C-alpha cells in the first residue's frame, strides 16, 4: 500500500502531496522498494522534502535517514536550477543540524552537482549568494578539516570528513588534503584523500598527487592513477613522469595501460601507445600458441587463489574476495583449461559485448571509462575496476564511444609466470557455484 501510495502522490502537484510523501518518508519500516518509490515521486520538490526531513530531529536519528538524505541531496544537486541547491546549502549549514548529518548532506549535494559538471564552489560564486552562506559553508569545511586531522576520532569519521573536502574550494582542499598522503597516515585515509583531490577541477592536482609517488603503496598508486585518468592534461603529467622515469612503466597496472592506449583523446592515445605499445605482442593468436605448454603443467589451487587475489580480484569476485565487475567465474565451469587459457591471453577473441569498455567525455572535458553497468532515461552508470562507479547525466555527455576492447587487458603473460597461469586456471576450475538456500522445513 505504501509503495503504491508513494507513486500516486508523485502524480499530484498539490503541496499536500509533498506533505504526504514526507509522512511516508518518516516511516522507519519502509522497505527499499518503498524508498525507491518515494525518491521517484519527489520530482522538482526534492529540496522542500529534504529540508522538511532535516528539521525533524526524530527522523535524522533513524537508521535509514542517512541513505534517504543522501539520495535526496543527489537529486537536488542534479537539478540544473541553482535555487534548490542553494536552499539545501542553507538548511545543511544550520547550526542546529548535527555535524555528521551536515556532512552527509553536503557530500550528497556535491556528488549530485558533479554529475552535471557543477560544484559547490561554483554554486557559491553566484552573485545572489549571501556572504553569510559562504561563511557557514567555509566553517563546515573547517570543522571537517579539524575532524579529519584528529587521531582520537574513529577512522570512519575521519574518512567522512575527508570526503567532504572533495567539495571544498581548491585552496581549502590543497591546503589540507596533501598532508594525508604521507606514508605515516593510515592507508584508507590516504586513498580517500586522493579521491577527494581528484574531484578538484584544477589540473594542478596531478603534480600534487604524483609528487609522492615513490612513497605510495600499490593500492594508493591505483587511486592516484584513477585520479589523473579523469582529464587529458592530468594524463599528460602522468605520461611525462613515465618518460622521465619518475614513474616506472612497471608501476602502472596492465588494465590502466590498456585504457590509456584506447583513450578517447587522440594525443593521449598516441603518446600512450608510443610508451606502452611495444610491451604486448598484438598477435594474440601467436601468444596463445606459444603458451600451450601451460596446459601440461600441474596447477595448484592454493597458489592459484593467491595469484587471483593479486591480479584478478580487482574485477572478479570469488566468495568474499574481489569485486564483481567482470563475468561471474562460475559461468566458465563448462570451459576446458584450453578455453580458459584463450580467455586469459586473448580476452577480446570472444568477449561479451556488454563487458566492452566505453569512454564518456563530459562537457567539461572529463573522461570516464568502464563497462556500462546501467542506464536510465537521465543518466548512464559506468563500472570499472574495484567495482567503482561513475554516474554521468545524459545532459552532460559530450561523447560516448565504445573502445571495442574488453575490460580485461591483454598482456597478462608479461605479469605472470607460466606456472602462475597454470595455477590460476586450476583455481578457476575449482570454483563451485553457490548452493541455493534450503527451504525451511515445518
Strands annotated E in 307-355: 317-318, 321-322
pLDDT at 19: 72
Contacts 24+ apart (CB under 8 A), 93-97: 93/133, 93/136, 93/137, 93/139, 93/140, 94/54, 97/54, 97/60
Q: Are 53 and 60 in contact (CB under 8 A)?
A: yes
Q: Using CA atoms, how far apart are residues 424 and 155, in angstroms rounded to an integer?
A: 35
Q: Name the residue among 242, 235, 153, 213 with its Cα closest to residue 189.
A: 153
pLDDT at 280 over 90: no
Across the strands, what pairs with 382? 372, 390
Say which residues have a Cβ less than 8 Å from residue 276's Cβ, sequence separation at least 6.
Answer: 249, 252, 257, 260, 261
The angle at the Cα of 401, spanning 210 to 267, to the nearest 5 degrees, equals 45
Q: Are 297 and 368 in contact (CB under 8 A)?
A: no
Confidence category of residue 34, pLDDT binned at 50, 70, 90:
low
One-letter-per-residue 3-state SS of 334-347: CCCHHHHHHHHHCC
φ/ψ (deg, to 5) at 370: 160, 180
pLDDT at 150 over 60: yes
The string of DSSP codes covering 44-75 is GGHHHHHHHHHT-HHHHTSTTHHHHHHHHHHH
pLDDT at 11 over 70: no
Say which residues have a Cβ less than 8 Å from residue 295's Cβ, sequence separation at least 6.
Answer: 337, 338, 341, 422
pLDDT at 319: 80
9 vs 294 pLDDT, higher one: 294
pLDDT at 14 over 80: no
Residue 310, CB-side half-sphere exposure with 13 Å CA sphere: 13
**The model scores a pTM over 0.95:** no
298 vs 350 pLDDT, higher one: 298
The string of DSSP codes covering 249-313 is GGGS-HHHHHHHHT-SSHHHHHHHHHHHGGGS-S-HHHHHHHTGGGGGS---HHHHHHHIIIIIT
Cα→Cα distances 231→251, 278, 320, 384, Å = 20, 25, 33, 16
Q: Using CA atoms, how far apart are residues 5 and 238, in angstroms rounded to an integer?
A: 53
pLDDT at 410 over 60: yes
CB count, 10 Å around CB of 434? Answer: 8
Give the pLDDT mean for 130-135.
92
Q: Name the residue among 144, 142, 78 with its Cα closest to residue 110.
A: 78
Give the pLDDT mean for 396-418.
90
* C-alpha cell, 264: 578517447
Q: Using CA atoms, how far apart are residues 28 and 257, in angstroms rounded to an integer?
A: 47
Of the listed ranges 97-101, 173-177, 387-391, the least confidently predicted one is 97-101
Q: Name the residue among 424, 222, 437, 219 with its Cα closest to residue 329.
A: 424
304 vs 431 pLDDT, higher one: 304
Burial class (CB in 10 A: 0-12, 13-18, 19+), 43: middle
Q: Using CA atoms, how far apart are residues 269 and 260, in angstroms rounded to an integer?
A: 6
pLDDT at 442 over 50: no
CB count, 10 Å around CB of 127? Answer: 4
pLDDT at 408: 87
* C-alpha cell, 74: 543527489
* C-alpha cell, 143: 570543522
Q: Using CA atoms, how far apart are residues 48 and 45, in angstroms rounded to an integer?
A: 5
Amino acid at each position: 500500500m505504501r509503495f503504491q501510495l508513494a507513486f500516486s502522490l508523485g502524480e499530484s502537484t498539490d503541496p499536500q502531496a509533498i506533505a504526504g510523501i514526507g509522512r511516508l518518508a518518516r516511516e522507519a519500516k519502509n522497505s527499499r522498494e518503498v524508498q525507491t518509490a518515494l525518491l521517484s515521486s519527489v520530482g522538482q520538490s526534492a529540496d522542500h522534502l529534504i529540508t522538511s526531513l532535516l528539521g525533524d530531529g526524530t527522523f535524522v536519528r533513524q537508521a535509514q535517514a542517512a541513505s534517504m538524505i543522501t539520495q535526496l541531496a543527489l537529486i537536488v544537486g542534479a537539478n540544473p536550477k541553482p535555487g534548490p541547491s542553494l536552499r539545501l546549502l542553507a538548511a545543511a549549514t544550520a547550526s542546529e543540524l548535527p555535524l555528521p548529518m551536515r556532512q552527509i548532506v553536503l557530500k550528497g549535494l556535491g556528488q549530485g552537482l558533479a554529475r552535471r559538471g557543477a560544484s559547490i564552489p561554483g554554486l557559491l560564486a553566484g552573485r545572489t549568494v549571501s556572504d553569510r552562506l559562504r561563511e557557514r559553508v567555509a566553517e563546515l569545511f573547517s570543522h571537517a578539516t579539524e575532524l579529519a586531522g584528529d587521531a582520537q576520532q574513529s577512522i570512519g569519521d575521519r574518512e567522512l570528513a575527508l570526503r567532504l573536502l572533495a567539495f571544498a574550494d581548491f585552496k581549502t582542499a590543497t591546503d589540507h588534503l596533501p598532508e594525508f598522503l604521507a606514508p605515516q597516515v593510515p592507508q584508507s585515509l590516504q586513498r580517500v584523500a586522493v579521491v577527494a583531490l581528484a574531484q578538484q577541477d584544477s589540473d594542478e592536482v596531478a603534480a600534487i598527487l604524483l609528487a609522492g609517488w615513490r612513497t605510495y603503496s600499490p593500492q594508493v598508486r591505483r587511486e592516484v592513477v584513477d585520479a589523473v585518468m579523469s582529464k587529458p592534461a592530468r594524463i599528460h603529467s602522468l605520461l611525462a613522469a613515465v618518460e622521465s622515469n619518475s614513474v616506472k612503466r612497471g608501476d602502472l597496472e596492465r588494465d590502466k595501460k590498456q585504457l590509456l592506449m584506447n583513450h578517447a583523446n587522440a594525443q593521449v592515445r598516441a603518446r600512450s601507445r608510443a610508451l606502452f605499445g611495444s610491451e604486448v605482442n598484438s598477435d594474440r593468436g601467436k601468444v596463445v600458441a606459444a603458451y600451450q605448454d601451460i596446459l601440461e603443467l600441474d596447477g595448484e589451487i592454493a597458489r592459484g587463489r593467491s595469484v587471483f587475489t593479486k591480479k584478478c580480484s580487482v574485477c572478479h569476485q570469488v566468495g568474499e574476495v574481489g569485486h564483481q565487475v567482470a563475468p561471474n567465474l562460475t559461468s566458465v565451469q563448462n570451459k576446458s583449461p584450453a578455453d580458459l587459457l584463450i580467455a586469459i591471453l586473448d580476452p577480446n577473441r570472444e568477449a561479451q559485448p556488454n563487458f566492452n569498455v566505453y569512454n564518456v567525455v563530459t562537457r567539461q572535458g572529463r573522461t570516464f571509462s568502464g563497462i556500462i553497468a546501467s542506464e536510465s532515461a537521465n543518466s548512464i552508470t559506468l563500472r570499472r575496476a574495484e567495482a567503482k562507479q561513475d554516474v554521468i547525466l545524459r545532459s552532460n555527455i559530450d561523447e560516448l564511444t565504445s573502445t571495442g576492447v574488453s575490460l580485461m587487458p591483454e598482456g597478462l603473460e608479461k605479469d605472470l609466470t607460466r606456472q602462475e597461469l597454470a595455477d590460476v586456471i586450476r583455481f578457476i576450475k575449482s570454483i563451485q557455484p553457490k548452493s541455493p538456500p534450503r527451504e525451511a522445513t515445518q
